[in-house]
Amino acid sequence: MVSADHFLHRRYMERAVEEMKKSIPEHRHKPDPKVGALLVSPDGKEIISTAYRGEIRSGDHAEFCLLDKKMREKPLTGHILYTTLEPCIERNPPKSSCTDRTINARIKKVYVGIVDPHPSVRGEGIKALLKEGIEVDYFDDDLAEIIRNENSDFIKYAEEETRKALKKDLAISSDPLDEALENATMDDLSLDAQEELIRRAKLSFNVGSKEFNKYLLQLRLISINTKTKITQPTGLGMLLFGKNPQLFFPQARVQFIVDLQDSDSVTKSFDGPVLLQPFKIQEYLDIIYPQFISRKTLQREEYYRVPEEAIREIINNAVAHRDYSINGTTIKIYIYKDRVEVHSPGRPIHPIEKFRQFSVPPISRNSIIAYLFNQVGFVEEVGFGMKEMKKIKEKNPGLTPSFDMRGEYFVVTLFLEKHVLENVELPNDIFDKLNIDEKTGLHFIEEKGKISSSEYKVLVNVSDRTARRHLNNMVKLGILISEGEGKQTTYKLKE
């Protein structure tokens, strides 16, 4: 069930996109971004005002029009801002940036359409907002795609500006991984990893050249001490290119656990430079996919063979987007007879609900890692992995991928065959009375042994009321038994 608040939220995003399309460019020699902004009351129930770039005066940013021109005399503490483009982080004096205006207005939450690709911003506006305690969320992925299409010329221009910025000084960053890594030297970087980047990204540099070091400097992969002039890898540079980054970040590993129940488990670990891990993983997938993941022995058409591309994308996304600040955790890929589970450390920056709706915008916790993965071809296209999983759902709803948190791990599950209960046998006339969501829920109940209504709601992605209805229906059918009362009630399979 979708709440009324969700429809309002969606409408606000759509309205901001509508405002964006009204933008008036002020330059002839370069493309200007199209930006729309929307201010909503603290309770999220009412649109207070809207604006678009150049609405009042040529060159005025949308947030400036909205917060400074239209709402200057109004108290805005606790209000909610929707903007189709990440707020700018700096402007030529005496102008103030849109990020500063948002902070000074005491806005409590900002919804961002897309990250500004210009090198003067590139995620720093979002970091500044978060640092000030302002909550940041993002537009739905389909609307983000519209925003990117409308701003395609500006995005191309911003990418060219990024290349030009390689010749300039490094901008200040707020990410600890961007700092020089103590006790590390440039000799600790892998020559193979650097050459692989140059070859696949088709860079016109040589390892160790002044031009290549400028490239690494701009991406914050190396740092130069202004006093000693000594160049060192940053934490991020060591992660991506280190000969043995696990000496500094032991958590930067990927582990495969193949468990088919009727045979001994097989484990395989991958370490080394994070940039090269996907190559090794791809080679391993090429070996194990036909043997363990392909359903070639199944002749019936209703069985669905999960595309290897989808599994590869989910794993690559885990490597690119995991939280590397969590010590003692590795990415774990469990391969069972009926499913593949990818366990990625850290709660994702997007609400899990957006994953379950397959509407996650392509914005990463680790933007540089994601950028380089795209440059070397690990990512097919923006949002490719989510599109592949959505195709699975549309082709066979019974195999809809699941998303949930288990402790400190974000878990994505791809089902390889229909959910088959192993510990309980149900007559066909009883099993057929269950809908797809109830059959999915039954699978989780069998897996967990016992479940509460609130856990069922999260795992199956239904409302509280629907969760209770499903569970009570399965009790009536004699599939489950309930224990306890009220909120303490739990459900398990009837023996």
Q: Which of 384, 415, 446 is the last residue of a domain?
A: 415
pLDDT of residue 293: 52
pLDDT tens for each residue of 245-268: 998 889 999 988 877 555 566 688
Judge whether residue 298 has pLDDT over 70.
no
- CA-nearest of 292, 294, 309 to 256 is 292
**What is the distance between the alpha carbons of residues 8 and 5, in angstroms, rounded to a whole number?**
5
Give the pLDDT mean for 456-469: 83
How far, in Å, CA of 145 to CA of 115, rounded?
A: 12
Nearest to 35 by CA among 112, 90, 89: 112
Residue 148's nearest CA partner among 270, 20, 276, 43 is: 20
Q: Which of 223, 243, 263 is the last residue of a domain?
A: 243
The more confident residue out of 176 and 39 is 39
pLDDT confidence of residue 304: 41
Average pLDDT, the chain: 81
3-state DSSP percent of the chain in helix, strand and coil, to 5: 40, 15, 45
Q: Is residue 422 part of a domain?
A: no
State pLDDT tens for residues 371-389.
888 888 765 555 666 777 7
Q: Give the tens place of pLDDT for each residue, 111-136.
A: 999 888 887 777 888 888 888 888 88
My answer on whether 232 and 336 are in the same domain is no
> Do 35 and 147 belong together in one domain?
yes
CATH of the domain at 130: 3.40.140.10
Same domain? 302 vs 376: yes
Q: What pLDDT does 432 receive?
A: 65
pLDDT of residue 195: 93
**Is 266 part of a structural domain of the chain?**
yes
Write the pLDDT tens digit of every residue in 71-108.
888 888 999 999 999 998 876 666 778 888 899 889 99
Residue at 205 is within a domain:
yes
- With 70 as the cut, is the pLDDT of residue 427 above it? no
- Same structural domain, 67 and 139: yes
Nearest Cα neighbor of 82 from 148, 4, 19, 2 is 19
Please give the share of the chain, as a percent, with pLDDT higher than 70: 84
Q: pLDDT grade, residue 192 (50/70/90)?
A: very high
Compute CA 468 distance to the chain's CA centroid, rounded to the nearest angstrom. Answer: 31
Strand bridging mode 409-415 / 402-406: antiparallel
| End position of a domain, from candidates 121, 154, 187 | 154
Question: Which pLDDT score, from 0 to 100, does residue 2 have?
Answer: 44
> Does residue 258 share a domain with residue 139?
no
Do 87 and 126 sit in the same domain of this protein? yes
109 and 180 both lie in a single domain: no
Q: What is the pLDDT of residue 35?
A: 93
Runs of H (alpha helix) within 21-140 = 62-64, 98-104, 124-131
Residues 6+ apart with CB under 8 A from 428: none
Say if 163 falls within a structural domain: no
269 in a domain, yes or no? yes
Please spell the DSSP secondary structure of 91-112, one letter per residue. -STTPPPHHHHHHHTT-SEEEE
Residue 481 bridge partners (DSSP): 492
| Residue the block writes with tokens 């680790």 | 366
Same domain for 108 and 13: yes
Q: Give the span between the Cα atoms of 226 and 414, in whole angstroms.
A: 49
Q: Give residue 77's identity as a one-letter amino acid code.
A: T
Residues 206 and 103 in one domain: no
Q: Is 398 exposed, middle or buried (0-12, 13-18, 19+ CB in 10 A)?
A: middle
- With pLDDT > 90 as the criterion, what percentage of the chain qualifies? 20
Band (pLDDT 50/70/90 cuts) for residue 301 is: very low
How many domains is the chain built from? Answer: 4
Question: What per-residue confidence (pLDDT) applies to 332?
Answer: 92
- Asked if the structure places residue 98 within a domain, the reply is yes
d(CA 330, CA 12) in angstroms, rounded, equals 39
In a domain, 162, yes or no: no
What CATH number corresponds to the domain at position 473? 1.10.10.10
The verdict on 403 and 435 lying in the same domain is no
Q: Span 168-190, mean pLDDT?
A: 71
pLDDT at residue 4, rounded to an integer: 55
Residue 224 sits in the same domain as residue 279: no
User: Domain containing 398: what range?
Assistant: 254-415
464 pLDDT band, cuts 50/70/90, is: confident
Q: CATH number of the domain at 348, please.
A: 3.30.565.60
321 in a structural domain:
yes
My answer on whether 270 and 362 are in the same domain is yes
pLDDT at 168 over 80: no
